[in-house]
Each structure stands twice: as C-alpha cells, then as structure tokens.
C-alpha cells in the first residue's frame, strides 16, 4: 500500500490498517481503533463493524443505523444538514430576539410524557426503521415536545439522537487529539500534559526536520510521538532511559506513523552514551528484550477483546499488512550511538515527573550540541528553580526561563456573544434553566482543559571553551 509509506499528514482518506480516533456523539466518548474489515466497535449495546470506515475522508460522520443483519455504520450526508443547520441557527436567533413565551414551567419531565414504549421502539427496529425515524416517532408521540422552548426541543432531539442514532466522527490521530482522549481515558492521570504545555515544549526545544532529539519521556510516549510527528521521518528521536529498562512508549502506536517515521523512533540507555554511569550494559540488554516482548503482546490482543474495552487505545492488528510494519521504539544502533557521542544531540526534552531534573540535566548536558535548545517539563516549580539556578551557576546554559502556560477557552453563542467559559458556568448556577445545560456538557470538558498546565524550564546550552578565547 502506497499510502502507508507517505509521510504523515499527506493522506486525507483512511485506509485498511490505519489508526483512527473515533469521536462518538460529539465528545461523549473517544476511542482509538485500527481499521480492518474485521474490527468492531461497541456503541451503546451494539457491536458495529468498522469496515464502512475504510476509504472514507477523515472528518466524515457515520451514524448507527439498523439493518436486516443488525446495526451498521452509515455515512451521514452532510449536504442537507448544512441547510438544515443554517435554518435552525436562524430559528434560534429569531427565538432569542422575539423572546419566545414558551418556558418549561408546564412540563413535568416524567416518562408518562412519552407514549411510545420500549417494545414499540424495538418493533420499529426489527422492521428496519432508521435512527432518524425512531427519533421522529418519539417526537410525534411526545406529549410535551410542542410545549418546549426551541432550545429544549433541540436538547431533546439531541438526547434522543445520541441514544437511538449515535454518531461517530472519524478523526486523524494527531497528537493534540491523542492528548485529549488520553485525558478522558484517565490514563496516567497524574502525568497528563495539557496541549498548550506540550506545544511549548516542542517550540522551546526547537524541534524541526533533521534534528536529532534526545528525550526523557516518562509520560508513556507522548513526547516521543509528538516529536516524531514534527520530524516527519527525518532525524531521530531517542528516548533515553536512565535505568536498565526502556520507558514504555505505547502511545506512539496510536499515531499513524509510516515505516519511515517509526524507524526514526529509538531508545537507548544512558549507559550506552556515557559508559561508566550506573547499571551494567548486560542488564540493560536483557531488560530491553523483555519489554519488547511486552509490546508485542499488546498488538496481538484479538479484536473481540478490544471492542469490549474500546475506551482504552486498542489495536486490532488482525491482518498481516499491519503486523509487517516496522515497530517504533527499537534500540538505537551502535552507529547511531557513536554518531551522537561525537556530534551531540540538537535538542532535548525532559518530562520525568518523578525524577530529579537537575541530576538528569547534569548527565545529559554533555550530550547536547553547543547552542542546542532544551525544555524540561515538571508539575512542580521547585525542581525547575533548583535546576535553573545550578545551570546558571555552572555557566552551562543561557536564555534560561521558567514559564507557566495559561489557557482559557471562550464559547460563542449567538444570543450571548463570546463568553468566558468560567463565567458561563456561573451563569448556569444563577439562571439554572435546564434548557441551557446541553451547552454545558462541553463546558465541563473545557474546564478540565484549563486545569493546571505545569511549568517549563527552557534554555540554550553554551560552549564551555571560553577560557581559551581570552
């Protein structure tokens, strides 16, 4: 397949064996999947084949429909929706300006308002009704729908749509989206890194094509993957482990990296680059092979098992095509290690939440080229302050700066204008009108996003050979 050898970002269409991020019901759930004719995804209580998702443009929306042979994913044709969407926006605005008199005081929200029973719905399903048809029927049989404000109507429709016709949006797994889903999956919740923090690390370390980037990635491969994405199959990203065992980089598998890119992701032990530090080489070798086996195992999990726990990154490597691909994160070759010893790395990123950054920096500093940029992430300020001070005193680096990123999301509403989401949350308490709350679901996600972003120490290594100059 030619697509796989293209550089990432070039293909706008999915292919068999490609990894995708599936956004179910507009952020309700995010799932990673590897597309294959046999791969399945559990949505609600149903298992759907992911086959229809192969060869579709990224950004396509699918809806779960009921066929003769059970539920299947069908492509949503957006052309009409654009019109509809346009109209409904218009309606909403009209509603705001004319101060519609409907409110929810007359509505008793119990099940008796709905005349359609669960059996009725099942029967419709058996007869092959689409999700849309079920929703229309629910609305037609709702005693209260007409009395609702148009906001509530929309909310009702949306709720039913999610239940009876869930939508699946197909996304390219770029690092930003991967970050978002990791957070939702509660993977490594302590080490979770915010998108703006990661973006700063990549800039401050001057990650660019043809760089040889040294990383100490103790956050599951997030840094390694993000760097590899920026290198696009040039240069190298070397994940260095200080002890005997390489750090896991499982997250790297979620990216759609081509073989060209995977080859550029390697690991090595500190011992390999500066012999005579700690730990013996033989020990390192042994641990390396152990952990490689572990990763192998992860890829071999059968598809069925994956679909039941689809919220964690899953790889349904059922066909040989996928298996043949080069595995990212192999051990750095002797030649590479030799070349790095001689010419040094061009950039360094450290994200090692439980390590003393100064002692790491002492060891890694000699491995960097002169004028190399580095960036160190930490959730606490003090270790970075100590490290910065020591670098200054030791005349090891200049341009030293500790930064704390700050991110705020604003949401646009046609009736309120742009609103700071924090204020919006307050409004929701003050107004406490249920009609507003479907907007707030997003708010909650975003609130999480503005949570603490950590600190970054950045700087540039200087050459120590100054004395001769005088």
Partner 1 sequence: MIATDPSEKLSLYRRIREGDLVIVYERHDSMKAVKVAEGSVLQNRFGVFKHSDWIGKPFGSKVFSNKNGFVYLLAPTPELWTLVLSHRTQILYIADISFVIMYLEIVPGCIVLESGTGSGSLTTSLARAVAPTGHVYTFDFHEQRAVSARVDFEKTGLSRLVTVGVRDIQGEGFPDEFIGRVDSVFLDLPQPWLAIPSAGKMLKPDGALCSFSPCIEQVQRSCETLKTKFTDIRTFEVLLRTYEVKEVRETSCQGDEGGSFKSPPRKKRQHSTEKGNVVEASGPGKIMAKPCGEARGHTGYLTFARLKCLPLKDNQVCSLRSA
Which one among 318, 373, 435, 443 touches partner 1, defined by CB under 8 A? 373
Indicate whether 97 belongs to the interface with partner 1 (CB under 8 A): no
User: Based on CB atoms, which residue is closest to partner 1, 140 or 398?
Assistant: 398
Which residues are CB-contacts of 289 (< 8 A; sequence separation ≥ 6)? none
Dist CA 241 CA 254 (whole Å): 22
Among 28, 38, 89, 426, interactor with partner 1 by CB under 8 A: 89
From candidates 172, 180, 241, 264, binder to partner 1 by CB under 8 A? 172
- Interface with partner 1, residue 195, by CB under 8 A: yes
Cβ distance to partner 1 smaller for residue 76 or 113: 76
Cα 418 to Cα 91, 223, 421, distances in angstroms: 19, 33, 9
381 binds partner 1, rule: CB under 8 A: yes
Least Å distance, CB 103 to partner 1, is 26
Q: Does 369 bind partner 1 (CB under 8 A)?
A: yes
- 388 is a contact residue toward partner 1 (CB under 8 A): yes
Tell me: does residue 259 bind partner 1 (CB under 8 A): no
Element (H or E) spanning 16, and its range? none
Nearest CA among 136, 254, 250, 194 for reference residue 447: 194
409 touching partner 1, by CB under 8 A: yes
Q: Does 335 bind partner 1 (CB under 8 A)?
A: no
Tokens 């390694």 — which residue?
A: 224
Report how far residue 332's alpha carbon sits from residue 422's, in angstroms, rounded to the nearest whole number. 47
Q: Does 82 bind partner 1 (CB under 8 A)?
A: yes
In total, the chain counts a number of residues equal to 470
Kindly state whether residue 38 participates in binding partner 1, applying the rule CB under 8 A.
no
The reply on whether position 357 binds partner 1 by CB under 8 A is no
Work out which of 21, 33, 137, 175 binds partner 1, going by CB under 8 A: 175
SS3 of 142, please?
A: strand
The Cα 302–Cα 384 span in angstroms is 44
Q: Are 388 and 398 in contact (CB under 8 A)?
A: no
Check residue 192 for interaction with partner 1 (CB under 8 A).
Answer: no
Question: How does 285-300 read in b/e, with b if 16+ C-beta sit within 10 Å?
Answer: eebbeebeeebeeeee
The SS3 assignment for 26 reads: coil
Q: Which among 34-42, 102-110, 150-158, 457-465 is the span making contact with partner 1, rule CB under 8 A?
A: 457-465
Rounded-to-integer distance, Cα 72 and Cα 23, Å:
16
- The interface with partner 1 within residues 196-235 (CB under 8 A) comprises 196, 198-200, 202-204, 206, 208-212, 229-235
Residue 379, interface with partner 1 (CB under 8 A)? no
Task: Determine, following the binding rule CB under 8 A, whether residue 389 of this chain makes contact with partner 1.
Answer: yes
For residues 268 to 297, the per-residue mask of contacts with partner 1, x marking binding by CB under 8 A and - elsewhere, is ------------------------------
Q: Phi/psi at 444 (nearest 5 deg)?
A: -60, -45
Binding flag, residue 427, partner 1 (CB under 8 A): no
Q: Which is nearer to partner 1, 239 or 346 (CB)?
A: 346
Return the residue matching tokens 């081509």.
258
**By C-alpha distance, which of 138, 136, 162 is closest to 43?**
162
DSSP 247-283: PP-GGGGGS---HHHHTTEEEEEHHHHSTTSSS-HHH
Is 144 or 346 the residue whose CB approaches partner 1 more closely? 346
CB neighbours of 79 closer than 8 A, spacing ≥ 6?
Answer: none
Query: How near is the Cβ of 83 to partner 1 at its closest, in Å?
Result: 10
Q: Looking at 59-67, 143-151, 279-287, 328-336, which segment touches partner 1 (CB under 8 A)?
A: 59-67
- Comparing CB distances to partner 1, the nearer of 284 and 457 is 457
Least spacing, CB of residue 23 vs partner 1, in Å: 10
75 counts as binding partner 1 under rule CB under 8 A: yes
**Which of 5, 55, 123, 296: binder of partner 1 (CB under 8 A)?**
55
Q: 228 to each of 58, 158, 263, how far by Cα in Å?
A: 21, 39, 10
Q: How far is the CB of 414 from partner 1 (least distance, A)?
A: 8
Site for partner 1 contains 465 (CB under 8 A):
yes
């Amino acid at each position: 397949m030619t697509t796989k050898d293209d550089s990432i970002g070039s293909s706008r269409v999915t292919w068999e064996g490609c990894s995708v991020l599936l956004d179910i019901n507009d952020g309700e759930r995010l799932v990673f999947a590897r597309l294959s004719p046999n791969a399945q995804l559990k949505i609600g209580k149903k298992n759907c084949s992911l086959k229809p998702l192969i060869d579709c443009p990224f950004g396509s929306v699918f809806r779960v429909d009921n066929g003769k042979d059970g539920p299947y994913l069908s492509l949503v044709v957006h052309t009409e929706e654009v019109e509809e969407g346009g109209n409904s926006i218009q309606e909403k605005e009209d509603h705001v300006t004319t101060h519609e008199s409907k409110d929810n005081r007359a509505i008793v929200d119990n099940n008796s308002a709905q005349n359609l029973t669960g059996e009725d719905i099942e029967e419709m399903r058996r007869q092959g009704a689409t999700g849309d048809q079920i929703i229309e029927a629910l609305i037609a049989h709702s005693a209260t729908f007409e009395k609702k404000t148009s906001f509530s109507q929309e909310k009702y429709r949306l709720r039913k749509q999610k239940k009876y016709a869930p939508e699946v949006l197909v996304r390219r797994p770029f690092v930003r989206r991967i970050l978002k889903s990791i957070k939702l999956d509660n993977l490594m919740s302590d080490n979770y890194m915010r998108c703006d923090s990661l973006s700063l690390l990549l800039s401050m370390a001057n990650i660019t094509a043809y760089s040889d980037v040294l990383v100490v990635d103790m956050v599951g491969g997030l840094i390694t993957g993000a760097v590899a994405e920026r290198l696009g199959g040039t240069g190298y990203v070397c994940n260095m482990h200080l002890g005997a065992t390489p750090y896991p980089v499982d997250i790297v598998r979620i990216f759609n990296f081509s073989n060209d890119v995977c080859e550029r992701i390697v690991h090595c032990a500190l011992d390999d680059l500066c012999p005579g530090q700690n730990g013996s080489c033989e020990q390192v070798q042994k641990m390396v092979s152990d952990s490689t086996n572990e990763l192998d195992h992860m890829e071999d999990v059968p598809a069925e098992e994956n679909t039941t726990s689809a919220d964690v990154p899953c790889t349904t490597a059922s066909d040989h095509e996928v298996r043949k691909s080069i595995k990212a994160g192999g051990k750095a070759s002797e030649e590479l290690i030799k070349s790095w010893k001689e010419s040094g790395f061009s950039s360094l990123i450290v994200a090692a939440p439980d390590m003393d950054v100064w002692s790491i920096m002492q060891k890694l500093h000699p491995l960097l080229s002169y004028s190399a940029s580095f960036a160190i992430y930490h959730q606490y300020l003090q270790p970075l302050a100590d490290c910065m001070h020591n670098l200054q005193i030791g005349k090891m680096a200049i341009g030293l700066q500790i930064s704390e990123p700050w991110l705020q999301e604003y949401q646009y509403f046609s009736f309120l204008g742009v609103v700071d989401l924090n204020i919006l949350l307050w409004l929701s308490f003050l107004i406490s009108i249920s009609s507003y709350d479907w907007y707030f679901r997003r708010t909650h996600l975003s609130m999480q996003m503005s949570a603490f972003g950590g600190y970054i120490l950045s700087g540039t290594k200087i050459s120590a050979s100054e004395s001769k100059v005088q």
